[in-house]
Amino acid sequence: MKIERLLAKFDIKGINYEALQGGKASLSLEEQLAIVGITWKESPVGFHLLFVEYLSDRESARVLYQLTRVETQKSMDRWRGVYAPKAIEALCLTAMAEVIQQKGQICPECNGSTKVTNRYRVTRKCQCCHEGRITWTSETRFALFSQTLPITYSRFKRYQPVLSLLVEWLTGHKVVAVLALKSRVEMEEKEA
């Protein structure tokens, strides 16, 4: 993506063309936000997801949590049965973590390096993960969910359909945001 071209079209100043490793120009947070501001209306939820995923933006994480909480409460209104108030929080955090870390969580045994050392200082391939990540399964979702709301696995199975809906909702918004940026860049390239 040629973000610099997009910024230049809208006469946005302040691009830092200082060479970094790899020879690419660096963009400040403000410049990245200016790019997003052009296509923000397409999917605010998706852009907050991208901010959290790529920029580790705390304010976007807070807003994303609030938006996800509203959607979770809507989903839980149609849900039959009783649930703990912390269930909404656990569903939000689990869904957000899964969408932000789509390849899975960093393996706690090898710390993402894919190699572990035994007590004899022999290095081996980590048996717990795939390329340093533990992929999302029902068990890993349950493990993350139960950190917020400790429940049994059979009870978690009741929450799983709502969790799946939330993940689909968040993923859909993320895809819309990415496609909006890509289409804006393609439009810019055609004009150039």
The pLDDT of residue 131 is 87
pLDDT tens digits for range 148-188:
999 999 999 999 999 999 999 999 998 888 888 777 666 65
The pLDDT of residue 71 is 92
Angstrom distance (rounded) from CA 124 to CA 143: 26
The pLDDT of residue 190 is 67
Phi, psi of 157 (to 5 degrees): -60, -30
pLDDT tens digits for range 39-87:
677 788 888 888 888 777 788 889 999 999 999 999 888 878 888 889 9
pTM (two decimals): 0.74
pLDDT tens digits for range 100-109:
988 888 888 8
pLDDT band at 9 (very low <50, low <70, confident <90, very high): very low
Angstrom distance (rounded) from CA 39 to CA 13: 18
The pLDDT of residue 55 is 75
Give the residue, 112 or 37, on which the prediction is more confident. 112
Burial of 170 (0-12, 13-18, 19+ CB in 10 A): buried
User: Is the pLDDT reported for residue 8 higher than 90?
Assistant: no
Q: Which residues of 30-66 are buried (b: 16+ CB within 10 A; e: fewer)?
A: ebbebbbebbeebbbbbbbbbbbbeeebeebbebbbe
Q: What single letter denotes the amino acid at residue 170?
A: L
